[in-house]
Structure formats: C-alpha cells, structure tokens
Amino acid sequence: MNRHPAHLAVLWDESHLWGLLLHRALQALDAPFTLLNAGDVKAGSLRALAPATLIVPGGWARLKSLALGEDGRSEIRAYVETGGNYLGFCGGAGLALGSERGTPFLDLCSWSRKPAAQRLPNFSGHLRCSVRHEAGSYEAALPVWWPSQFAPDDTAPLDVVARYESPGPDFWSADLEWSGVAPKEVGQWEELYGINLNPELLRHEPCIVRGRYGRGSFTLSYAHLETPDSPDANALLCRLLGLGRSGQVPAWDLAREEPRWADEPLRAMQAALLDLIGFGQSHFLLFWRTPWLLGWRRGVPGSPLNFLLAMIWQARHAGAPPAARDYWARHGGQCLSQCREFCTRVRKYLLQERRILATAPSSPESSASPSLQRSKQELFGKFPGYGGLYGDILRTLDELLWLQLKP
C-alpha cells in the first residue's frame, strides 16, 4: 500500500481535552491531518486514507478500546502490520499495549501497564528525561499529565526513546507540589495518603518506547509532547512525526476571549463554569496551574471541570459549519439546562467536600463520606471513567466539536 508520507490521521474518540491539545499542536506545526472516529476506522478509512501515521491522543484506554470494538482494533492492527506507524500519547499509548484481564487492547506489543501498587499512581508536570533519538542523546524537560507506567516484558524488549530522570520545578505528586516536600517528610505524606508519592520510583523508568509490528512501527509516549508552550516536548514531537523542521505549540489561555461563533448558550455555559471554578478557588479546592490546566485538592473532581471548560472554549473559538449549527440547534438548549443544573449541584458538592476534607482525606476513587460519594457518582460517574450528568454534557459537546473540527 502506498502511504501518504506527509499525511497524518488522528483518532478522535474518548480524547476530549487531550484531543483538543493534539489538534492545536498539529495545526500550530502545520502538519496535515485528518480526524477519524471509531466508526470511520471500522469502515476501513485507514485502508482508504493510508496515512503515514495514526496518532491516538490521551484519554481512558479502556474506553477507546470499547469504542473501537474488535473490528476497529483489527483494522488498526492491520494498518500497522502492513507498514503504518502508530503514535500513542498516554491513554493512546495504553491502548497499544498487551490486553488485560477483561479489557482487550491492540496487542501491538507484549508490554503492559504496571499495577497501581507498584507505580507512582498520580503524578503530573515536567520531568527531566534522558532522550535517545536519531538526533543523538540529550536531556529534555517532558510533561506528563497523570499517566500510567510501562511494565516491560524482558523477553520482548522495546527501544527506549526516553527515560525519566528527576522532577522538574512544576512537578506534582498527587496534589503536592514536590519542590516543597522535604525528603524526611515523604514517608509521613505516603502514610497519610496511602499511596506511593516519591518520584524516585520513576528514575530510569521508560517514558517513551518504540517497536515493530509486522512491516510497521509503533511509538508509545506517556509524555504529552503536544503540551502547549513546552519547547523540548514540541521539538521531540516534530522529530517523531518526521516533519523535517522544529516548531513550538503556542500557549493556550482559556481566559482569553476572541470567539468566532457568537452562540449564546455556549457563552452562558462558559460563564457558569468559570463562576463555579471561581467558587472552588475561593474555598481552596481548585487553582490554575497553567492558563489551560486546573489543579485541585486530591479527591476533588477538578479534571471534569477543566474538560468542559476547554471544550466549550474550543466550540466558541472554532468555525460552525451547517452540520454543527443544526446539531446544536437541536441539543444546545438542553445542554445549557444540564450545565446550569450541574454547576448548581457541584457548587453544593464542593462545599460539602471542603467540610469533609477538614476531617478525613478523599481520593480520586472515593470521597471520605459515603453520602458524598453517592452525590459524586450522580454528578461525575464512577472512577475510572466518567458518567452521570457530567457524562451527558461531555458527550453532547464532544459530538458538537467533532462536527466543527472534522471538516
């Protein structure tokens, strides 16, 4: 099959914020690409398009696999086996690993994910990494946003492109800014949180790996090389894509207002979410780590609020072709109503969470209060994954953005 050497394909499903980051990055780097969804893949679009590389953004690997189904997974395996290249970031990297009990993945390699008890389960920010690429060996600051970790198969080694070395100045372990944690305090924090927190567990661990599958290849990166305003990561992304040039993804400020689509329901939804986030900030539960990324107290569901705000911002700042306008005309009113209800109920939830956090710690899996946990699941669904009222709003916005960005 003749591949289009300069063309890329991006799998849209179950990516949300991470799909938007990749979309922004590829546009900024002037890299030609086509968005595909799981239905396209199952229908044979990879064979028809024959892109040089299929890129799968972050998100929940299990949900991506479920969206693809066995037919979609078989299409991707056939695409790589016949000479295609697969590039996965975070959840997209996890999707390519060996299947787990009850969860089929792509099985492009026999490596898997480390069990939670053996890894650093909740870390984010930049790490200093040692990188080995065709350009030579060097150190780079690469960003990670709550990844898993590889469990290597020693009988089937892969080429390690990058390894973690040490935390950068913006590194967090759970909700602890690591630069402020004294070495003698690490054990006390781990006892309090009940999880591993020490980034020494990451030292020399693989961060980016690559290997062969049939006549094709795969590159799996737990580092988000598409992160805005991250020069080392953006430069490595250019090299991995073979763009023949270097470039940088510009900063992304969710507070900057230059909407292309003057839609009132979207404006009202953005205002409601910003007000909710401001409420969370006033109670020391939420804060801004970067202009595009929220931070939150452990156990507080800050990530869903970040996802919704970013998706609404993008919807307002993208074009609105007829299909998107028609879809939003049918669903926008209900989505606005759901968003208002969501913001009202989450405000009450956050106030209760603050009171609970004063006496006992929560975690991403569960609140310290059983009654509050029920409320959390009604609003956000079960962790890992998503659902509830948040899931309804998310799915509507995801379809809107697909119709806006797909053309």
The residue with tokens 């299947």 is 99
**Residue 37: φ, ψ to 5°:** -110, 180
**How are the residues of the chain apportioned to helix, strand and coil, as percentages rounded to the nearest 5?**
45, 20, 35
pLDDT over 70 at 112, yes or no: yes
Instruction: Identify the residue with better confidence: 394 or 116.
Output: 394
Write the single-letter amino acid at 304.
Answer: P
pLDDT over 70 at 138, yes or no: yes
Does residue 165 contact residue 203 with C-beta atoms inside 8 Å? yes
Q: Where residue 367 falls among pLDDT bands split at 50, 70, 90?
A: low
Mean pLDDT of 99-108: 94
Does residue 197 contact residue 241 with C-beta atoms inside 8 Å? no
Residues above pLDDT 90, as percent of the chain: 88
Does residue 163 contact residue 129 with C-beta atoms inside 8 Å? yes
pLDDT (tens digit, 9 = 90+) per residue, 329-363? 999 999 999 999 999 999 999 999 888 877 766 55
pLDDT over 70 at 1, yes or no: no
Give CA–CA dist 356/107, Å, rounded.
Answer: 42
Count of helix runs (H) and strand runs (E) in the chain: 12, 15
- Which residues, in sequence order, are bridge partners of residue 293? 290
Helix, strand or coil, per DSSP, at residue 129: strand
Does residue 277 contact residue 344 with C-beta atoms inside 8 Å? no
Mean pLDDT of 299-324: 97
pLDDT at site 134: 79
Give 189-197's long-range contacts (Cβ < 8 A, gap of 24+). Answer: 192/361, 193/298, 193/361, 193/363, 194/363, 195/121, 195/122, 195/363, 196/117, 196/119, 196/120, 196/121, 197/120, 197/173
pLDDT over 60 at 406, yes or no: yes
pLDDT at site 61: 97
Give CA–CA dist 14/34, Å, rounded.
Answer: 16
pLDDT at site 373: 84
Q: Where residue 113 falls among pLDDT bands split at 50, 70, 90?
A: very high
Instruction: Identify the residue with better confidence: 134 or 299.
Output: 299
Pick the closest to residue 266 from 316, 341, 330 (CA basis): 316
pLDDT (tens digit, 9 = 90+) per residue, 174-218? 999 999 999 999 999 999 999 999 999 999 999 999 999 999 999
Pick the closest to residue 293 from 325, 320, 255 (CA basis): 255
pLDDT over 60 at 366, yes or no: no
> Going by DSSP bridges, is the β-strand pair 85-89/51-56 parallel, antiparallel, or unpaired?
parallel
The residue with tokens 């202009």 is 291
The continuous run of DSSP H or E covering 305 comes out as helix 302-316
pLDDT at site 388: 96
Q: Where residue 259 falls among pLDDT bands split at 50, 70, 90?
A: very high
pLDDT over 80 at 73, yes or no: yes
pLDDT at site 356: 82
pLDDT over 60 at 365, yes or no: no
pLDDT (tens digit, 9 = 90+) per residue, 139-169? 999 999 999 999 999 999 999 999 999 999 9
pLDDT at site 244: 85
Least confident interval from 33-47, 129-143, 361-375: 361-375
Calculate the average pLDDT of the chain.
94
